[in-house]
Amino acid sequence: MSTVGNGAHILVYPYPAPSHIIPLLDLTRLLLTRGFTVTVLVTPKHLPILQPLLSTHPSTSIQPLLLSHPPKPPNSGLIAKVRASSELYHPILQWFRSHPNPPVAIVSDFFLGWTNNLARQLGLPRVVFWPSGAFAASVLDSLWRNLPRNDEPHNDDFLINLTSVPNSPVYPWWQLSEVYREYVEGDPDFEFFRNSFLDNSESWGILFNSFSDLEQIYIDHVKKELGHTRVWAVGPLLPPDDVGSATRGGQGAVSHHEVMTWLDSKAVDSVVYVCFGSRGVLTSKQTEALVAAIQHSGVHFIWAVKANGKGHVANDAGAILDQFEERVGPKGFIIRGWAPQVAILRHRAVGAFLTHCGWNSVLEGLAAGVAMLTWPMGADQFTNAKLLVDQIGVAVRACEGGDQFVPDSTELARLLAESVSETEPKRTRMMQLCDAALNAFTGGSSSMDLEDFLNRLGELQRKEL
């Protein structure tokens, strides 16, 4: 790749949640290595996630812009958080106008569609960053644009057919985004959220954390819907090595060395990695069912569990896990808190991944070439599972459902045991896709898309849009 940045200044604005911040910081790292100057807008709470980049690049290349969102009511939902973020419109505008070398473009998360109006006022291009894939983006765009409704309000299994999306995916009502299902037409907050979302289609360009061999049909669909080709698939965005992955997303609950040493003692493809993302919390009944399934399967496992800063797990699950850990001994490794997931998945001993199908986890699993068992619980996870299981055939549907769902531990035990079997039939297809993911960034489609995107950014400093 050529170095085309020439110091061009870019404002990067992630939505303030780890699953959104981390991949956008992976993109930021690529911008920095190509000679761009980057300001990253973060809340003080999430500044630690940015520290690895701040500590490895000069302050002349990267600076944080610390702005706090206004206080929100306790347990407020996504719409309130997005609305609160828009209160930063004028502080950001003031920062731009007072900066001696203001950014030439804004790259912001898809939840921050309101920044497109900010970019317009400043006369700058806004680029939408999707930390999820083009399939999920197509589904959400279809929902918010066309507003299909449940004609049987008391039937959560009512089917919604999205005929405007390639392959015409069908979802029972309960699998659609919770925010969408709660939409109230005319409500100011909901209408703000919808309009902010639709503003993504009006933005100058779109970046997907994906790659063409995984989602070409949906990438082409987005280009057709937008009527232009400023759509780039630049994924999978991952740290280049295990050293970088050890601090990606924050300080781990256990040392990288400790996890790797435990894995080094296990046979190739013998370990199942279990994780439900940075926000997923199982109920006590779900925890009990999964404990029974793992124990009956006899597999070696690492289980990363969401915990607070002191390593405490919510509700009764903590006591259940403590007892389970004592019973399984060296066959299991339970991590209470943040885990070095990329490094774990890349280890030769890990053969399977029980995942909630968050997009970061999907890409990390694909890039590592591990078999995947899907347990989607909400958000875009049902769409991601549909892609993996039904459309490209690289994963097995283990179960699906949120708080009210409890898996059949006997059936789940069978699937866990089969997932590390050498005869697992989906492994060949998975390894092909793994190679495609790795090749995409070594001269393949993603590296070419990134090259084109960065060249266009570099040109912004040399011409007036």
Residues 6 or more apart from 445 whose CB is under 8 A from it?
211, 212, 213, 233
Output the CA torsion sign for 391, 393, 399, 401.
Answer: negative
Closest CA to 28 of 80, 103, 124, 83: 103
What residues in the chain have per-residue pLDDT under 50?
1-3, 243, 309-312, 464-465
- The pLDDT value recorded for residue 459 is 81
What residue type is 98 in one-letter code?
S
For 235, the enclosing helix (H) or strand (E) is none
Q: For residues 72, 378, 392 and 222, what is the CA-based torsion angle, rounded to 10 degrees?
A: -40
User: Per residue in 126-166, pLDDT tens?
Assistant: 999 999 999 999 999 999 999 999 999 899 999 999 999 99
- The pLDDT value recorded for residue 157 is 95
Residue 248 to residue 238: CA distance in whole angstroms: 9
- Give bridge partners of residue 303 from the DSSP assignment: 274, 334
User: Per residue in 50-79, pLDDT tens?
Assistant: 999 999 999 999 999 999 877 766 667 889
User: Strand 205-208's sheet: what is its strand order?
Assistant: 62-66, 37-42, 9-13, 105-109, 126-130, 205-208, 231-233
- The pLDDT value recorded for residue 323 is 83
State the number of CA atoms in the 13 A half-sphere of 214 facing the CB: 37
- The pLDDT value recorded for residue 411 is 95
Going along the chain from its start, the domains and CATH numbers come out as: 9-148+184-235+441-460 (3.40.50.2000), 252-438 (3.40.50.2000)
Average pLDDT, whole number, for the chain? 89
User: Strand 371-374's sheet: what is its strand order?
Assistant: 332-336, 300-305, 271-275, 350-355, 371-374, 395-397
- The pLDDT value recorded for residue 310 is 46
- The pLDDT value recorded for residue 422 is 65
- The pLDDT value recorded for residue 424 is 59
* Cβ proximity of 405 and 337 under 8 Å: no
In this prediction the pTM is 0.91
* Cβ proximity of 446 and 235 under 8 Å: yes
How many Å is the Cα radius of gyration of the chain? Answer: 22
Tokens linked to 453: 């995107």
DSSP code of residue 44: G
Residue 201 phi, psi (nearest 5): -70, -20
- The pLDDT value recorded for residue 71 is 72
- The pLDDT value recorded for residue 461 is 65
- The pLDDT value recorded for residue 465 is 41
- The pLDDT value recorded for residue 133 is 95
417-442 burial, b at 16+ Cβ within 10 Å, e below that, comes to: bbbbeeebebbeebeebbebbbebbe
Tokens linked to 413: 């035990």
Tokens linked to 187: 């409500």
